[in-house]
Structure 1
Amino acid sequence: MTADEGGLRERKKRETRLALSQATIRLALERGLDAVSVEDIAAEANVSDRTFRNYFASKAEAVVAAHVERGQRIGEVLRERPASESLWDALVHAVVSQFEPPPDAAAQPPDYGTALQKLLAEPAVQHEVFRAHATAQDELTAAIADRAGTGTDDLYPQIVAAVVSAGLGTAMANWTRDPGRSLVVLLHEVFDVIRAGLPEPR
């Protein structure tokens, strides 16, 4: 197998994982996670039941796979940013770019936030979210270390990754409570406060 063939195969696997994750989230928000079967998810993603089980051990794992993919993409985009760009500018771009809605994105229904909170409150999902956060933060730490020219065991990339993760989590939590707000605007607000050194409120 050539490098190009290996890269194409890996990209297709990531695309399938993401499609299954998005299908799981979509159906779970509509019906509730317990009311959705693996067969339902596979049909929604236009793949076989076996394909789902090849990728995920549970529906909860599938729910958070989109977050894992997003974390991987943030690291990849950060590595691709111009070397002349400041680390913080590159980080903000890498994070925010993963949350910009496509031009044809439909508005979220009024009960979207409530349904999402309920889904994320599922004990099995919470466990997977914790694991996904850890994986995403490790990915970000490695990307920051590469850009800063340090090792991943250095405090600097670890601290920056933790701060970015906390800011992202704060923005997501606020958006979940009020999904009518722009998540992109909210992310910029959060990272502007962090960039300013967390000044005291006026």
Structure 2
Amino acid sequence: MSLRESKRVSTRAALEQSAWLLAASRPWSDVTIDDITTGAGVARRTFFNYFESKEELFAALGSMRPGEFLAAVRARPLDEDPWEMLCGSLTVQLQSSPRESIERMRAMWREPALLEQHIAGRRLLEQNLVDEIRRRRPALDTTDALLMASVFLTATRVALQTWVDDGSPGTPIESLTRTLRAVTVTVGTQLGV
């Protein structure tokens, strides 16, 4: 990657990170472009090199993580159990950026429009996970693969939402681990994985 391209990627990431941190601290409707650029350490005009509006940035925020998670899933060993592949990928992703992950979760559950963006991105992620599960276990029928992906995504949402809303003890990873363990036996037994 060229130095110029590296700088563009870094600046866009700074704008997105600033937006997430601001959305975690107050309603999205109260966040301004000036707030975002100040937090990112860039000039206001720089914002418009990346986004046409705050709404466009908002849409990008809703779709960032699923792509990163899917890349982590695909990087796992092919012979790994599909359920372990899903759980392990998410744990690694949360450990790599715990503060950012926590701020994103808080922002998402506090702001209904961000949650809508997140849910919309989950449908595509779910289908991609089904494809990856079937690639690893071709004998598993599509319905069972869909059930596994759906249960995983729902368990993840419940664990993280509970952690954010109720102030559950421990870290988000601990909350996820407890929830995913609770469903692991059921999923494994029912789907024969």
TM-score bracket for the superposition, by shorter chain length: 0.7 to 0.9
How far is 1:164 from its partner? 0.7
151, 164, 182: which one aligns with 1:176 = 164
Q: Is 2:135 the partner of 1:146?
A: yes
State the percentage of identical aligned residues.
20
**Secondary structure, aligned partner of 2:49:** helix
**Secondary structure, aligned partner of 1:53:** coil
Distance 1:149 1:55, change over 3 A: farther
TM-score (norm 2): 0.72
Q: Deviations over 1:27-48 (max 9, x none)?
A: 1233432221123213322451
Of the structure 1 ranges 18-27 and 121-130, higher mean CA displacement relative to structure 2 is found in 121-130
How far is 1:60 from its partner? 3.5
Distance 1:168 1:14, change over 3 A: farther
Q: 1:134 is matched with which residue? A: 123
Separation (CA, whole Å) in 1 of partners of 2:54 and 2:30: 18
TM-score (norm 1): 0.69
Separation (CA, whole Å) in 2 of partners of 1:143 and 1:15: 30
**Secondary structure, aligned partner of 2:93:** coil
Q: Residue 79 of structure 1 contacts residue 143 of structure 1 at CA under 8 Å; is this kept in 2?
A: yes
Q: Which amino acid aligns with 1:169?
A: R
Q: Residue 172 of structure 1 contacts residue 183 of structure 1 at CA under 8 Å; is this kept in 2?
A: yes
Separation (CA, whole Å) in 1 of partners of 2:7 and 2:147: 33
Gaps in structure 1 of 5+ consecutive residues: none
Distance 1:13 1:155, change over 3 A: farther
Q: Deviations over 1:130-158 (max 9, x none)?
A: 2122233233223223323479x922322
Aligned residues: 182
Structure with the largest fraction of helix: 2
1, 9, 17: which one aligns with 1:22 = 17
User: How well do the aligned residues superpose, as a CA RMSD in angstroms?
Assistant: 3.8
Q: Superposed, which structure 2 residues align to 1:32-181 within 5 Å? A: 32-47=27-42, 48-54=46-52, 57-58=55-56, 60-64=58-62, 68-100=63-95, 102=97, 116=106, 120-149=109-138, 154-177=142-165, 178=167, 181=170
